[in-house]
A and B are shown apart, each in its own frame.
Chain A
């Protein structure tokens, strides 16, 4: 079936450093790639997304890049803060067998003060 792989599973950075999370997807028809932040026991929150007709998108300290040829997309968080600590999920909207969102395994980000 369709798959989204995400790395690393855990990421620990010092406050102020950058954090990068990488994902690959398998469905070549996917054209929408959201990123979610989930705090413990809470619902996922959309933090940024990118569509396949765009290579890069930035929103303040968060940026996402997409390489559609290689089926890679990445999340970049700059100037990390302790409140950025959470689990981050990449996802891809699959069109195979109907519209459904396939999630990566998640990255647990720790930002040390």
Chain B
């Protein structure tokens, strides 16, 4: 149980285009989802915390107008990278937690984004 999926697993796009990444909890309802970005040989950096039905909370330094997060249901959160540029190329990972169990994070498999 507690499986999180991400789609797509990898994407290549041209500079200036927008890319949407989906994060789904397949067998549980996730009240909170987190979006991380991981550059090569670096750690996971939290971008934003997403709660169902409310606006996402962005970490300092993360542009909310560039990284649009929508958490419309208890099983789906989306991250849209708007007007992507080569420096946005990274590994994007989401995670989800159950209500009342904030400790345990269930990670998605990640989405590798390459912006040309």
Question: Which residues of A come within 8 Å of B, CB atoms?
Answer: 1, 32, 34, 41-46, 49, 89, 93, 97-106, 108
Contacts and interface: CB of A to CB of B under 8 A. Distances in A.
B115 interface: no
Contacts, number: 47
A35 to B, nearest CB: 13
11 contacts: A1-B60, A41-B110, A41-B112, A43-B107, A43-B109, A46-B104, A89-B44, A99-B102, A100-B46, A103-B43, A105-B43
A39 to B, nearest CB: 12
Contacts of A42: 109-110
A105 B107 CA distance: 18
Nearest to B112: A41
Contact of B46 (A101, A104, A108): A101
A107 B49 CA distance: 25
Contacts of A1: 60
A100 B107 contact: no
Interface in B42-56: 42-46, 49
Contacts of A89: 43-44
A41 B30 CA distance: 24
B73 interface: no
B67 interface: no
A41 B91 CA distance: 8
Given A32-B103, A41-B112, A98-B49, A105 B34 contact: no
B80 interface: no
B54 to A, nearest CB: 12
B84 interface: no
Given A100-B34, A106-B42, A93 B102 contact: yes
